[in-house]
């Protein structure tokens, strides 16, 4: 716990063309704010050493896919953690992946009734549905074979496009009352046409690589989200957000008067969710990040409930749910480490029995031998130091000889400092009992 998450949050103005159904109605507007957040996630495993080897296998007909996944994952890990270098012969950690499923069926085309954006007569329109899936199991082990972490990741793609190439999935259907127009450039924009086979393959690979990397190294991802605009409080909050003043932006959004129509107030709730998400990525510790992420998820959920047809509400909620699941895994791991450290310390035999008057207390006190045992069992320094700070009683030998024995057995300066600090905390002296009237005589 306590690894810094100082997410750099920057902003820029993005223009998206939207034909609003009613003048002044609350929506993302003809000119919505595009905000870029740096989404940082701490690693779920602690790699040993600074060299790494990545190996990917698959079925016989997946050799090209396995080779590309291996190259992309190795590149991503080295990029996210500059300390790492690739080493084939004697790596300090090995990441082994197996492709368990890959499917990229031919797109399916269906025809169904649709209405024009202007509410004209019903007509038939063709819709193309593109799907794909990639599943990978992976393990990270130390050079000695110790399991550092493992999991399975599955990436699914399922998107539908109308005959003009506009994505119609996730709330924006062919019959909605607001029509999304193309940006300048006609029908050739990559963001608006169904992906080609190679583009879909690349998307599945990139997403799988990102999810695996999030387990193994600290990751950073630039995420673009929109802020809804409206004259008044929302525009004021948008300006504060654009300047990186997310706490002030949050206060502005939250104190703004809710709009009378739920579907319109949904955008204020959505902006609140964005502000909480930004604060999560700027948080100094993981508990604060979790708190902000929970609040972001709540407000994104409220926005979806108020206006289910708005597609821009969907992706942020999925992104937040993924981050929350990541932090919960991290929290569970930290709790298990602390429990294991406490159990290991309790199982160690106490040193030679001291005088009878101190025997009961000393038996429960944390000793040099127990600290050395924790270090040699592979418990990381942060967890050992936390165990020392939380100990109810300690019986450390911090003489010159005792310290030499500690350092000679692999105890780090960080752990030694925690021992000295804990030993310096004297137990509160018991208050003398008040004299009774009889004793006073």
Are 202 and 273 in a shared domain? no
Are 125 and 201 in a shared domain? yes
Are 265 and 358 in a shared domain? no
- Pairwise CA distance, residues 133 & 339, whole Å: 38
6 is a domain residue: yes
| Residue 179 bridge partners (DSSP) | 19
pLDDT for residue 400: 83
**CATH code for the domain of 175:** 3.30.160.150
Are 267 and 370 in a shared domain? no
Are 34 and 87 in a shared domain? no
- Contact by Cβ (8 Å): 378, 349: no
435 is a domain residue: no
403 is a domain residue: yes
**CATH code for the domain of 259:** 1.25.40.10
Q: What would the two tokens of residue 21 be?
A: 């159904």
Are 130 and 174 in a shared domain? yes
Q: What is the pLDDT of residues 361-405, one digit of tens each?
A: 444 688 888 888 888 777 778 788 888 888 888 889 988 888 888
In the predicted model, residues of the chain with pLDDT beneath 70 are: 1-32, 114-122, 165, 167-192, 345-364, 426-441
- Contact by Cβ (8 Å): 133, 103: yes
Are 233 and 258 in a shared domain? yes
- Pairwise CA distance, residues 75 & 54, whole Å: 10
Are 361 and 405 in a shared domain? yes
Distance of CA 225 to the CA centre of its chain: 16
pLDDT for residue 348: 61
Cβ within 8 Å of residue 7, ≥6 positions away = 37, 38, 39, 40, 278, 280, 281, 282, 283
Residue 355: domain span: 348-424
pLDDT for residue 119: 52
254 is a domain residue: yes
439 is a domain residue: no
368 is a domain residue: yes
Are 259 and 155 in a shared domain? no
pLDDT for residue 68: 97
- Pairwise CA distance, residues 151 & 299, whole Å: 30
Q: What would the two tokens of residue 81 be?
A: 């953690």
Pairing mode, strands 33-41 and 123-142: unpaired
Q: Mark which of 311, 340, 361 sits at the end of a domain.
A: 311
Q: Mark which of 311, 332, 361 sits at the end of a domain.
A: 311
- Count CA atoms closer than 13 A to 343's CA, side-chain side: 7
Q: Which residue has the tokens 């500690």?
A: 406
Are 232 and 209 in a shared domain? no
88 is a domain residue: yes
Q: Mark which of 285, 311, 337 sits at the end of a domain.
A: 311
Are 203 and 77 in a shared domain? yes
* Structural domains counted in the chain: 3
Crossing angle of the two packed helices 314-347 and 381-390, in degrees rounded to 10: 60
pLDDT for residue 199: 94
pLDDT for residue 62: 93
Are 172 and 55 in a shared domain? yes
432 is a domain residue: no
């Amino acid at each position: 716990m306590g690894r810094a998450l100082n997410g750099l949050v920057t902003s820029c103005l993005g223009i998206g063309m939207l034909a609003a159904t009613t003048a002044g109605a609350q929506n993302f507007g003809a000119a919505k704010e595009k905000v870029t957040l740096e989404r940082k996630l701490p690693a779920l495993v602690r790699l040993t050493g600074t060299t790494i080897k990545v190996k990917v296998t698959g079925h016989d007909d997946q050799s090209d896919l396995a080779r590309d996944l291996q190259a992309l994952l190795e590149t991503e890990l080295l990029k996210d953690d500059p300390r790492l270098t690739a080493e084939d012969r004697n790596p300090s950690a090995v990441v082994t992946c197996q492709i368990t499923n890959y499917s990229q069926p031919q797109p399916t085309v269906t025809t169904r009734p649709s209405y024009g954006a202007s509410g004209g007569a019903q007509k038939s329109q063709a819709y193309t549905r593109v799907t794909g899936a990639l599943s990978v199991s992976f393990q990270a082990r130390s050079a000695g074979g110790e399991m550092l972490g493992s999991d399975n990741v599955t990436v699914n793609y399922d998107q539908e496009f109308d005959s003009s190439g506009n994505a119609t999935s996730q709330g924006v259907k062919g019959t909605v009352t607001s029509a999304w127009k193309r940006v300048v450039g006609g029908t050739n924009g990559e963001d608006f046409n169904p992906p080609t086979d190679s583009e879909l393959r690349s998307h599945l690979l990139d997403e799988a690589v990102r999810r695996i990397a999030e387990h193994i190294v600290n990751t950073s991802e630039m995420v673009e989200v929109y802020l809804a605009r409206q004259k008044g409080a929302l525009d004021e909050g948008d300006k504060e957000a654009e300047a990186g003043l997310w706490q002030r932006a949050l206060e502005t959004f939250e104190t703004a008067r809710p709009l009378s129509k739920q579907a319109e107030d949904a955008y204020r709730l959505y902006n609140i969710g964005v502000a909480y998400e930004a604060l999560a990525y700027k948080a100094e510790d993981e508990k604060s990040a979790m708190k902000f992420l929970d609040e972001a998820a709540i407000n994104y959920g409220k926005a979806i409930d108020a206006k289910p047809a708005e597609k821009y509400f969907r992706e942020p909620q999925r992104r937040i749910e993924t981050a929350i699941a990541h932090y919960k895994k991290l929290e569970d791991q930290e709790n298990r480490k602390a429990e294991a450290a406490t159990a290991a310390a309790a199982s160690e035999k106490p040193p030679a029995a001291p005088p009878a008057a101190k025997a009961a207390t000393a038996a429960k006190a944390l000793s040099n031998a127990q600290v050395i045992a924790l270090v040699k069992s592979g418990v990381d320094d942060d967890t050992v130091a936390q165990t020392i700070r939380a100990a109810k009683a300690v019986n450390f030998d911090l003489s010159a000889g005792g310290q030499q024995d500690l350092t000679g057995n692999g105890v780090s300066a960080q752990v030694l400092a925690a021992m000295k600090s804990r030993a310096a905390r004297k137990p509160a002296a018991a208050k003398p009992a008040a004299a009774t009237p009889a004793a006073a005589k």
